[in-house]
Amino acid sequence: MAKKINTSAGLLLYKFQALEIYFFLVHPGGPYFTKKDEGSWTIPKGEIDLNEDELDAAKREFIEETGYLPLGNFIALNAIQQKGGKIVRCWAIEGDIDPARLVSNTFEMEWPPKSGKMQTYPEIDRGDWFTFTEARKKINERQISFLEQVIVHGK
């Protein structure tokens, strides 16, 4: 299926616990991210199909990467541009998810490179809840704006 060029959509799940806000982030699967932590986590997101509504794409990607869809009011956040030029559209939603119950789709890639061996990896190898301070360290630096927008919106 054709995709919108250079644009992704995702959801930022958040919750309040003991008067503190927590953000749900995911860690990319596959060999490139195995030993990476700080700055590598992200919102569940992915490419938008050519004629797909952006919020619908964000919901679809969240389901594909977590096996869950939060219900409620989706809050549109200002888009960001990642280092590689990709535009990321994001909606925040309050909800809860058990990281131990994540079910991610998979992808195949040749690994090791030029080996001719195809390996299957989960798109997301784990997810977790982080406080704002923790999430700022874990998330891709260009996505910090999403966290900040939720904080501002919540006040």
The values of phi and psi at residue 123, to 5°, are -65, -35
Look at residue 34 in the predicted model and tell me its pLDDT. Answer: 87
- Asked whether the beta carbons of 26 and 66 are under 8 A apart, the reply is yes
Model confidence at 4: pLDDT above 80: no
d(CA 146, CA 28) in angstroms, rounded, equals: 18
Question: Which of 123, 136, 108 lies closest to 61, judged by CA?
Answer: 123
pLDDT per residue as tens digits for the range 110-120 = 999 999 999 99
**Over the stretch 34-43, which tens digit does the pLDDT of each residue have?**
899 999 999 9
26: part of which helix (H) or strand (E)?
strand 20-28
Summary mean pLDDT of the chain: 94
Please name the amino acid found at residue 5. Answer: I
Task: Return the domain boundaries, the chain.
Answer: 3-154
Q: What is the CATH number of domain 3-154?
A: 3.90.79.10
Sequence letter at residue 22: Y
Question: What does the alpha-carbon distance between residue 125 and residue 31 come to, in Å, rounded to a whole number?
Answer: 11
Averaged pLDDT for residues 64-90: 95
Sign of torsion over alpha carbons 20, 26, 32, 34 = positive
Residues 111 and 31: beta-carbon distance below 8 Å:
yes
For 34-43, b/e burial (b = at least 16 CB within 10 A) is: eeeeeeebbb
The whole-angstrom separation of Cα 26 and Cα 82 is 17
